[in-house]
Amino acid sequence: MKGAVRCIAFAAVVLAWAAGAAFAASLTEELGGEALIREAKKEGKVVVYTANILSLAKTMQTAFNKRFPEIKAEVVRLGGGALHRKILTEHSAGKLLADVIEMSDRGLIRREMAAGVIGKHTIPTDGKYPADTKIPGMVYPGYTYLYLIAYNPAIVKNPPKSWMDLVDPRFRGQLGLVPAELGGTPWMTALFQYQVLGNNSDSYWRKLAAQKPRFFTSGAGIGKNLISGETPAAVALDVVSVSDIKKGAPVKFVYPPEGVVMIIFNFSVTTVAKNPNAAKLWMNWTHSREGQEVWTKQVGGLSPRTDIAPPEAAPKTVKVWQATEEDFVKLRDSYTKRWNAIFGYKP
């Protein structure tokens, strides 16, 4: 099977948002009601295991703590693969501390479901999220990322305009990327490169590997090196350097004509949550209008909700690609192993 390429017109999203704003539910309703809020405050704590970039996770944590100062939100951050191993190890030992899990890799989420880690919870705003982005009553899309090309214009005078430009000799030794197996985001990007850029072959992988890219364990590291100029260009997340760009950091994004990879971050409560009400409140708040607007306005990311306006800096139209869930789950292990061999990456 093959993923889908389609265009998203953000202007249309803005119109939908403007039309629906007057009918938005109250914040209390979107949070699940006074009783849930009261019980969550009694628990006084929520532990979130996340694969999100730490600085972005901290932005959401700060906003939640401001809204609910009685509830201490603790964030534990690891890359997707490492976080998954931590979750399963702790769960099998009866020591899982997470109340909430946030991961971009739906395949790993499915494995955690099979292991009995993922609990049941329907968010009050379930109807605001498209059917193909959620597993109703269990897993919901918290954030949307675009994986694209970024570069430092102070150093790169002939910037890339397409994915094919990245395999041009001028970028040999100049690229940064996250290995495919380290999370759902780089894995889906690798699958895009295989299915779309390589026309269902590893030809693009081989060309990219020949560029001798520098490996990073997370998008945050790529962002810092882009700004410093140590890594002039990269395969990166659109939200990696937003706050720095606002302050004048030299980073620009490229939305290639072949498409960009759209990543959905999956949120769920755990079956062993020690703070079950606070876990549900975190889920409800992050998916509420207030929580989603923190993501779009403060972080600069896109919302998967159908009634939230995109950030001002977002382009009007973007060609996006998503893998089918079947490919995303079934191909992961064999393809990432193949990717490692081609790129000479040793986990």
Residue 17: predicted pLDDT: 42
Mean pLDDT per 10-residue section of the chain, whose length is 347 residues: 54 42 68 97 98 90 97 94 95 98 90 97 95 94 89 95 96 95 90 97 98 89 88 84 71 90 92 98 97 90 84 73 87 96 95
Residue 219: predicted pLDDT: 76
Q: Which two tokens stand for residue 114?
A: 């099979």
Please choose, from the candidates 292, 283, 286, the residue with its C-alpha nearest in 3D space to the C-alpha of residue 119: 283
Entry pTM: 0.78
Residue 19: predicted pLDDT: 41
Residue 272: predicted pLDDT: 98
Residue 302: predicted pLDDT: 83
Domains, the chain: 26-143+265-299 (3.40.190.10), 145-262+316-340 (3.40.190.10)
60 sits in which H/E element = helix 54-67
Residue 313: predicted pLDDT: 67
Q: Where are the alpha helices (DSSP H) in 156-235?
A: 184-192, 203-209, 219-228
Residue 316: predicted pLDDT: 67
Residue 243: predicted pLDDT: 62
Residue 299: predicted pLDDT: 84
- CA–CA distances in Å: residue 100 to residues 75, 121, 294: 10, 11, 19
Written as one letter, the residue type at 108 is: L
Quote the CA–CA distance of 282 and 145 in Å, as a whole number.
Answer: 20
